[in-house]
Amino acid sequence: MCDNITNAPNIGSLFRTSDAFGIEKLFLCGEQISLGRKITKTSRATENYITYDIVDDALKVIYDLKALGYIIIALEITDQSKAISSYTFPKDQNIALVIGAENFGVSDAILKQSDVVLHIDMFGQNSSMNVVQATTIALYEMTRQMWS
């Protein structure tokens, strides 16, 4: 689930990443989300077969997913977040991974509704990475654990 990700190349790349990892559904949440030529340039046509919804209210999606029994995992660096490398993903529960806006991350309201907040350890001087890169790393770790 994307919380206010609006950069067209990032959205296009998230479609490709969703396809690579067999994501069930991609939620694009925010008021200024639209698909256009800039998205299709990076998506390589994956938006044509990845199931997705464009939704204004991200919190409503969170509440709906929780009602369906999904565990909500936010990918964000916070004072209370846990390193993704030390987290064991449940194999018997559906997971919704929440990723945040390019400049602002996952909103506080969604972080409060998340069951778990994870971060990717950073070893350089920069304090964050591109949302698509971070998502790919997180999905790789989730997939690695679930299929091992």
pLDDT at 148 over 90: no
Reported as a pLDDT band with limits 50, 70 and 90, residue 125 is confident
- Write out the residue range of the structural domain in which residue 68 sits: 2-146
Residue 16 predicted with pLDDT over 90: yes
Instruction: Please report the sign of the dihedral spanned by the C-alpha atoms of residue 65, residue 67, residue 70, residue 72.
Output: positive
Instruction: Identify the weakest region by mean pLDDT among 14-18, 21-25, 37-41, 118-122.
Output: 37-41
Q: Report the number of distinct structural domains present in the chain.
A: 1
Range of weakest confidence among 31-35, 63-67, 81-85, 130-134: 31-35
Whole-number average pLDDT of the chain? 95
Instruction: Decide: 99 and 106 in contact? Cβ < 8 Å.
Output: yes
Integer Cα distance of 96 and 69 in angstroms: 10
Specify whether the CB–CB gap between 134 and 99 falls below 8 A.
Answer: yes
Res 34: pLDDT? 85
For 37-79, the pLDDT digits (tens) are 899 889 999 999 999 999 999 999 999 999 999 999 999 999 9
Q: What are the two backbone dihedrals, phi and then psi, of residue 82, each rounded to the nearest 5 degrees?
A: -105, 150
Report pTM. 0.95
pLDDT (average), residues 134-144? 97
CATH code: domain of residue 21:
3.40.1280.10
Q: What is the pLDDT of residue 112?
A: 98
Asked if 61 and 1 count as a contact pair (C-beta separation under 8 A), the reply is yes
